[in-house]
């Protein structure tokens, strides 16, 4: 069988319409149609890991629900080759009165496993979950962590040809998450076709071969993770700009481009980041093709999943104009006391015209900022500060850095 | 490798064989879920499984006290307690299963919106659990017959097809009501009254013989009437069941069950959106 030719999943013109009841209208019941998924045609080859991203309400979850047969399409067909299993929510079908062991059988059969298959895998499932001492206790006495671990353990041992994963990895402690990723990697190497929905753009980036971007129910972009994630951030930034400015003049798109964002130490050598309260030099490499008289260059530090913006550095905080002349330019932000908490942050950068709301370029690469523990911090961030005696004679008021 | 084609909801009416094949694939879930349904039911009750015996017995005592001692209802020549219990047993199977199955989809909304499986499994498990209680209740019936010195004759074997018919009819009603309940919760509200009405429209507290002949053909459109009557014929009168009511019941069930199942599958397609 020629592996390249096998398509495990084929969407053909798939649409899903919901009828939304209009709130309290005087003329009886009024319904409005809402297309959650619109005319999706898509092939997923065997063994591919496909990520689906999009803003809330873009239709990602509906697409997954259609694929997992939880609900039916309004039009179009989906062809599946092989056994499909969905990790849409772990622990589905657990019954609180039953013991962990009984629930493994229940949950396994809900997910489509045969009793014999479950019995054969019971030991491995229980070991994976790490709840062996409690396996004969009703799950109503489990902690939520134990519950989730057992649920994932069952789902992770399904022998499926196609596996759907929706946000399940956002559960459990760090050690368990690593275990989950390892299991997913194992399944991938074993040739399982996977469809992944997550807001954690970091894991999408790491795990997926291809990414689909959805917007208002339609597939608007398909390609490599780096490419599509870049477009996604641009989409988010543009709609944000449109929301705030109320206008959308497309100003000189393509006039300049962010090529890379790097972090360097005082010797100018590349470093992965800094420590909390330490010095951070952020270098933005820009390719300029058309001169821009007054540009604004900005760097954004997001939480790893790309959902929360933690801080921003911008040339717009000073009055000095950034004049961009054609050629390769390097612009540097220097921060002496970088205050973010220890952790990994994703990084974005943008160029825009000071007088137009639209972005000229949006960059969202694979670069992560690594902030190591430095000055100890309680609260949200480290604020650079000093202390001195306020009641001593002037000569003894020597400042001391913290 | 098997190819599964997911089609729009409107095609559900045409694919009875596919639905049945899918259900057969998920038979392990049906077995597991039914077993758990039974084991969960009496967990954390102090009397446990004894309730399966006590429930119908208590009903029998109440019915005998009210309808025989107070209302002097005739028992068709058998002791009223036994006369009532023989009908209460199949009736409780039907009414209990239908009542719990009607809410089965709504109460499992968590499962329905999170994972796929043939949804009919949920109402079916309640019918299976009802059948389990029926089996225990039947042992009690045999004990009661011994107590009243009513012999168990070879005619009792005829109960097997009659019970099968009862189960299928119970299933048909459960499928329709549970599917409608997803969209219109009115069903659950009206159900106790409907069940009560249906009980009086069936020969439970009175013998079938008191129903006027001119009403008969309408009366027998309710399959429970023919089924309950047959129970008494076979167990208490030691005769083969009266063929006319039973044939009515069989025909109605044979027509309604496939339609009920297809109706259910059509409703299933959008269940997760409405629940």
> Residues B46-67: pLDDT tens digits?
777 788 788 878 888 888 888 8
- The string of pLDDT tens digits covering residues B166-223 is 999 999 999 999 999 998 988 989 999 999 999 999 998 888 888 888 888 888 889 9
Chains A, B: CB contacts within 8 A come to 103
Across the interface, whether the CB atoms of A93 and B32 are under 8 A apart is answered: no
Return the minimum-mean-pLDDT range out of A233-247, A337-351, B147-161.
Answer: A233-247
Residues of B in contact with A68 (CB under 8 A): 115-116
Residues with Cβ within 8 Å of residue A145, at least 6 apart in sequence: A171, A172, A173, A176
Which strands make up the sheet holding A327-335, listed edge to edge? Answer: A256-264, A280-288, A327-335
Return the minimum-mean-pLDDT range out of A166-175, A324-333, B28-37, B75-84.
Answer: A166-175
User: How far does the CA of residue A135 sit from the closest CA of chain B (Å)?
Assistant: 17
User: How far does the CA of residue B8 sit from the closest CA of chain A (Å)?
Assistant: 5
Compute the mean pLDDT over every residue in chain A, rounded to the nearest whole number: 81
Long-range CB contact pairs, A175-178, < 8 A, 24+: A176/A130, A176/A145, A176/A149, A176/A152
pLDDT at position A94: 77
What's the half-sphere exposure (Cβ side, CA atoms, 13 Å) at A360?
26
In which band, very low, low, confident or very high, does the pLDDT at A244 lie, cut at 50, 70 and 90?
very low
Whether B220 has its CB under 8 Å from any CB of chain A: the answer is no
- Name the residue facing A81 among B3, B270, B273 (closest C-beta): B3
Whether A113 has its CB under 8 Å from any CB of chain B: the answer is yes
Q: Which 7-26 residues of chain B touch chain A by CB within 8 A?
A: 7-9, 12, 25-26
Mutate to test the interface with A, among B7, B42, B114, B124 (most CBs of A within 10 A): B114
Count the residues in chain A: 402
Residue at B104 is within a domain: yes
The two beta strands, A343-353 and A359-363, are antiparallel
Classify the complex by whether its ipTM is higher than 0.85, answering yes or no. Answer: no
pLDDT at position A45: 92
Across the interface, whether the CB atoms of A110 and B115 are under 8 A apart is answered: yes
Are the C-beta atoms of residues B264 and B175 closer than 8 Å to each other?
yes
Residue at B244 is within a domain: yes
Q: What is the tally of structural domains in chain B?
A: 1
- Name the residue facing A82 among B1, B8, B112 (closest C-beta): B1
**CATH fourth-level superfamily of A3-227:** P-loop containing nucleotide triphosphate hydrolases (3.40.50.300)
User: How far does the CA of residue B95 sit from the closest CA of chain A (Å)?
Assistant: 25
Locate all alpha helices (DSSP H) within A209-285, ordered by sequence. Answer: 225-245
Residue at B95 is within a domain: yes
Whether B182 has its CB under 8 Å from any CB of chain A: the answer is no
Compute the mean pLDDT over every residue in chain B, rounded to the nearest whole number: 88
CB burial of residue A316 (10 Å; 0-12, 13-18, 19+): middle
Residue at B153 is within a domain: yes
What is the average pLDDT across B224-250? Answer: 89
Residue at B9 is within a domain: no
Are the C-beta atoms of residues A129 and B43 closer than 8 Å to each other?
no
Whether B214 has its CB under 8 Å from any CB of chain A: the answer is no
A321 versus A264: the higher-pLDDT residue is: A264
pLDDT value at A130 more than 70: yes
In which band, very low, low, confident or very high, does the pLDDT at A3 lie, cut at 50, 70 and 90?
very low
- Range of the structural domain that residue B191 is part of: 15-274
In percent, the amount of chain A with pLDDT more than 70 equals 84
Across the interface, whether the CB atoms of A68 and B115 are under 8 A apart is answered: yes
pLDDT value at A246 more than 50: no
- Name the residue facing B3 among A69, A79, A97 (closest C-beta): A79
The two beta strands, A49-54 and A210-215, are parallel
DSSP structural state of residue B241: P
N-term to C-term CA, chain B: 33
In which band, very low, low, confident or very high, does the pLDDT at B259 lie, cut at 50, 70 and 90?
very high
Mutate to test the interface with B, among A44, A68, A71 (most CBs of B within 10 A): A71
- The string of pLDDT tens digits covering residues A46-70 is 989 999 988 777 888 889 889 888 8
Q: What angle do CA B70, B74, B79 make, to 5 degrees?
A: 90
Across the interface, whether the CB atoms of B6 and A79 are under 8 A apart is answered: yes
Phi, psi of A353 (to 5 degrees): -85, 135
A395 versus B40: the higher-pLDDT residue is: B40
Show me where the domains of chain A are located.
3-227, 253-372
Consecutive H or E run containing A251? none
Locate all alpha helices (DSSP H) within A81-143, ordered by sequence. Answer: 100-110, 115-129
Phi, psi of A144 (to 5 degrees): -65, -30
In which band, very low, low, confident or very high, does the pLDDT at B151 lie, cut at 50, 70 and 90?
confident
Q: Which 87-106 residues of chain B touch chain A by CB within 8 A?
A: none
Return the minimum-mean-pLDDT range out of A156-165, A178-187, A331-340, A357-366.
Answer: A357-366
Count of Cβ atoms closer than 10 Å to residue B110 Cβ: 14
Residues of A in contact with B7 (CB under 8 A): 72-73, 77
Count of Cβ atoms closer than 10 Å to residue A245 Cβ: 12
- The string of pLDDT tens digits covering residues A260-317 is 899 998 888 889 899 998 999 999 999 888 888 788 899 999 887 776 778 889 888 8
DSSP of B80-92: HHHHHHHHHHHHH
- The string of pLDDT tens digits covering residues B76-96 is 778 888 898 999 999 999 999
Are the C-beta atoms of residues A241 and A248 closer than 8 Å to each other?
yes
In which band, very low, low, confident or very high, does the pLDDT at A5 lie, cut at 50, 70 and 90?
low
pLDDT at position A13: 93
Phi, psi of A236 (to 5 degrees): -65, -45
CB burial of residue B48 (10 Å; 0-12, 13-18, 19+): exposed
Report the C-alpha gap between B106 and B12 in whole angstroms. 21
- Roughly what angle, to the nearest 10 degrees, separates helices A100-110 and A144-156? 50
Across the interface, whether the CB atoms of B36 and A111 are under 8 A apart is answered: no
What is the average pLDDT across B94-112? Answer: 91
Residues of A in contact with B28 (CB under 8 A): 109, 113-115
Strand partners for B241: none
Are the C-beta atoms of residues A259 and A286 closer than 8 Å to each other?
yes
- The string of pLDDT tens digits covering residues B8-27 is 877 778 888 889 998 998 99
pLDDT at position A247: 34
pLDDT value at A365 more than 60: yes
Are the C-beta atoms of residues A158 and A85 closer than 8 Å to each other?
yes
What the block records as the tokens of A340 is: 């973010």
pLDDT value at A92 more than 70: no
Residue at B158 is within a domain: yes
Whether A161 has its CB under 8 Å from any CB of chain B: the answer is yes
What's the Cα-to-Cα distance from B16 to each of A83, A386, B61, B112, B264, rounded to whole Å?
A: 21, 78, 45, 21, 11
Mutate to test the interface with B, among A72, A79, A95 (most CBs of B within 10 A): A72
Across the interface, whether the CB atoms of A115 and B28 are under 8 A apart is answered: yes
In which band, very low, low, confident or very high, does the pLDDT at A344 lie, cut at 50, 70 and 90?
confident
User: How far does the CA of residue A167 sit from the closest CA of chain B (Å)?
Assistant: 13
Consecutive H or E run containing B11? none
pLDDT value at B261 more than 80: yes
B269 versus A356: the higher-pLDDT residue is: B269
Mutate to test the interface with B, among A3, A33, A109 (most CBs of B within 10 A): A109
> Which option is the CATH number for A253-372: 3.40.718.10, 3.40.50.1950, 2.70.50.60, 3.40.640.10?
2.70.50.60
pLDDT at position A77: 93
Phi, psi of B90 (to 5 degrees): -65, -35
pLDDT value at A333 more than 70: yes
Return the minimum-mean-pLDDT range out of A90-104, A274-288, B250-264.
Answer: A90-104
pLDDT at position A88: 63
Residue at B169 is within a domain: yes
What is the average pLDDT across B119-131? Answer: 95
pLDDT value at A372 more than 70: yes
DSSP of B148-215: TT----GGGGGHHHHHHHHHHHHHHHHHHHHHHHHH-THHHHHHHHHHHHHHHTTTSSS-GGGS-GGG
pLDDT at position A28: 58
Count of Cβ atoms closer than 10 Å to residue A185 Cβ: 13
User: How far does the CA of residue B29 sit from the closest CA of chain A (Å)?
Assistant: 5
What the block records as the tokens of B35 is: 């077993």
Across the interface, whether the CB atoms of A115 and B272 are under 8 A apart is answered: no
pLDDT at position B13: 80
pLDDT at position B98: 96
- Name the residue facing A79 among B5, B44, B271 (closest C-beta): B5
Residues of B in contact with A69 (CB under 8 A): 6, 116
């Amino acid at each position: 069988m020629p592996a390249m030719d096998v398509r495990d999943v084929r969407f053909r013109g798939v649409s899903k319409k919901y009828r939304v009841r209009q709130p309290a209208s005087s003329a009886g019941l009024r319904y409005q149609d809402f297309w959650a998924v619109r005319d999706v045609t898509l092939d997923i080859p065997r063994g591919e890991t496909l990520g689906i991203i999009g803003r809330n309400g873009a239709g990602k979850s509906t697409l997954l629900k259609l694929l997992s047969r939880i609900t039916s399409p309004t039009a179009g067909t989906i062809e599946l080759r092989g056994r499909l299993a969905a990790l849409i929510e772990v622990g589905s079908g657990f019954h609180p009165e039953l013991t962990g062991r009984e629930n493994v059988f229940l949950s396994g059969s809900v997910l489509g496993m045969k009793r014999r298959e479950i019995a054969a895998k019971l030991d491995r499932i229980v070991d994976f979950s790490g709840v062996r001492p409690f396996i004969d206790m009703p799950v109503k006495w489990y902690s939520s962590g134990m519950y989730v671990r057992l649920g994932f353990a069952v789902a992770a041992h399904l022998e499926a040809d196609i596996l759907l994963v929706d946000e399940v990895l956002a559960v459990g402690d760090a050690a368990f998450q690593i275990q989950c990723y390892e299991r997913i990697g194992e399944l991938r190497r074993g040739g399982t076709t996977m469809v992944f929905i997550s807001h954690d753009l970091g894991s999408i980036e790491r795990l997926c071969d291809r990414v689909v971007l959805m917007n208002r129910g339609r597939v608007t972009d398909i390609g490599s993770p780096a490419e599509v994630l870049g477009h996604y951030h641009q989409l988010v930034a543009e709609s944000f700009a449109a929301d705030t400015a109320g206008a959308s003049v497309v100003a000189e798109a393509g006039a300049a481009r962010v090529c890379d964002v790097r972090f360097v130490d005082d010797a100018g050598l590349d470093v992965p980041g800094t420590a909390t309260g330490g010095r951070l030099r952020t270098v933005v490499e820009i390719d300029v093709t058309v001169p821009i008289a007054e540009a604004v260059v900005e760097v954004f530090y997001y939480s790893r999943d790309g959902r929360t913006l933690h801080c921003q550095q911008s040339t717009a905080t000073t009055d000095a104009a950034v004049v961009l002349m054609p050629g390769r330019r390097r612009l540097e932000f220097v921060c002496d006391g970088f205050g973010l908490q220890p952790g990994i942050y994703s990084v974005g950068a943008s160029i825009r015209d000071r007088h137009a709301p639209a972005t000229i370029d949006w960059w969202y690469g694979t670069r992560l900022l690594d902030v190591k523990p430095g000055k100890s911090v309680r609260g949200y961030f480290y604020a650079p500060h000093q202390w001195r005696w306020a009641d001593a004679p002037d000569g003894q008021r020597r400042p001391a850095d913290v | 490798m098997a190819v599964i084609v997911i089609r729009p909801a409107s095609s559900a009416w045409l694919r009875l064989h596919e639905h049945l094949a899918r259900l057969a694939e998920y038979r392990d879930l049906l077995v597991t879920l039914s077993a758990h349904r039974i084991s969960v039911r009496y967990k954390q009750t102090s009397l446990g499984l004894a309730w399966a015996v006590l429930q119908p017995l208590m009903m029998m005592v109440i019915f005998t006290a009210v309808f025989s001692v107070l209302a002097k209802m005739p028992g068709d020549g058998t002791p009223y307690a036994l006369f009532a219990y023989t009908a209460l047993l199949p009736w409780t199977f039907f009414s209990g299963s239908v009542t719990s199955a009607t809410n089965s989809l709504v109460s499992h909304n968590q499962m329905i919106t999170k994972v796929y499986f043939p949804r009919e499994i949920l109402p079916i498990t309640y019918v299976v659990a009802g059948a389990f209680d029926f089996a225990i209740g039947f042992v009690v019936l045999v004990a009661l017959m011994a107590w009243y010195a009513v012999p168990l004759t070879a005619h009792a074997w005829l109960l097997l097809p009659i019970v099968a018919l009862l189960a299928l009819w119970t299933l048909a009603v459960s499928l329709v009501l549970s599917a409608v309940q997803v969209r219109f919760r009115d069903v659950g509200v009206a159900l106790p009254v409907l069940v009560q009405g249906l009980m009086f429209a069936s020969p439970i507290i009175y013998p079938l013989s008191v129903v006027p002949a001119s009403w008969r053909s309408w009366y027998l459109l309710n399959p429970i009437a023919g089924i309950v009557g047959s129970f008494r014929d076979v167990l208490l009168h030691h005769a083969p069941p009266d063929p006319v009511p039973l044939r009515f019941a069989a025909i109605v069930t044979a027509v309604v069950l496939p339609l009920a199942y297809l109706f259910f599958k059509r409703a299933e397609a959008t269940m997760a959106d409405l629940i």
